[in-house]
Structure formats: structure tokens, C-alpha cells
Amino acid sequence: MSLDSAEFHAAVYDLVRLIPVAKVTSYGHIAKLAGMPNHSRHVGQALKFLPPNTNPPIPWHRVIGASGTISSRGPGTDGALRQRDALIAEGVEVITGRTGELRVDLGRFGWFPSRDEVLGTQEILNRAEEAEEPSEA
């Protein structure tokens, strides 16, 4: 399966919306769920260019590195601190590692469903949306 950039971004946003409150997953897991397992960096790019005030909201802060670290956004940026604060507000414990990295225990807070589980969830959500749409009679 191959998605163009817009389709991939839309898939990423839909998948990130499925991450439960007080849980996190990795960029790589979102890429895998989207059917493009070698595109974890593209997941980061999709979230980086997330339009402000997207509705429904996309909980971008629930996506972290595969090692459980919050990705640095580079010197002079506060994205990692905003992400830490948003996770703490949801009840996720964020610790500072030996070298100053911000870290989450994936064993405790990780969300790593199979692709089949997520696809089943997405199909249920799609059916619910279709049921809410007014019929053209």
C-alpha cells in the first residue's frame, strides 16, 4: 500500500486521535499502523505541520520516540516542554533521564495495538459517522 502525502497525513491524524488519554505511542508505531512502517520520520513531519486549532483536536503530544523519549525540537524551542506538560496534565509520568532527556515508561504508559485492532476501531468510527449523517431521501 502506498499513500500520497495528504493521505498519509490524514491517516496519521486519524490514528493519533485513537490514542487514549494518559497513553503514548511511538512515531514508528503510528507509521506501522498507517501501513508504511518505514516512515516514522514522516509521522513526525505530519505532526510538526499540524494546522493550529484542528477540529477535532489531534493529541500530538501522545506520540514520542521508540525509546520512550520526548523528541527535542532543537535549541531555543519549547515543544518538548509543552509536550511534557500536556502529558503530565493527563496523568503520564515524565522523568528526566541521566543526560537530561525527557522520558516516559512505555511499559506503563505505552499504547501499541495491532493494525487489525485499530482498523476494526476505525471501521466502527466510520460507521458511527455515517449513521450520524442525514440521509438523502
- List pLDDT tens digits, range 9-68: 999 999 999 999 999 999 999 999 999 999 999 999 999 888 878 888 999 999 999 999
As a whole number of angstroms, the distance between CA 117 and CA 73 comes to 32
Q: Which helix (H) or strand (E) holds 64?
A: strand 63-64
Mean pLDDT across the chain: 88
- Which one has a higher pLDDT value, 4 or 83? 83
Question: Which domains, from first to last, does the chain contain?
Answer: 5-124 (1.10.10.10)
> Terminus-to-terminus CA distance in the chain, angstroms?
36
Residue where the block lists cell 520526548: 70
* Residues 10/48, Cβ–Cβ less than 8 Å: no
Confidence at 73, pLDDT banded by 50, 70, 90: confident
Residue where the block lists cell 483536536: 57
Backbone angles phi, psi at 64, to 5 degrees: -135, 180
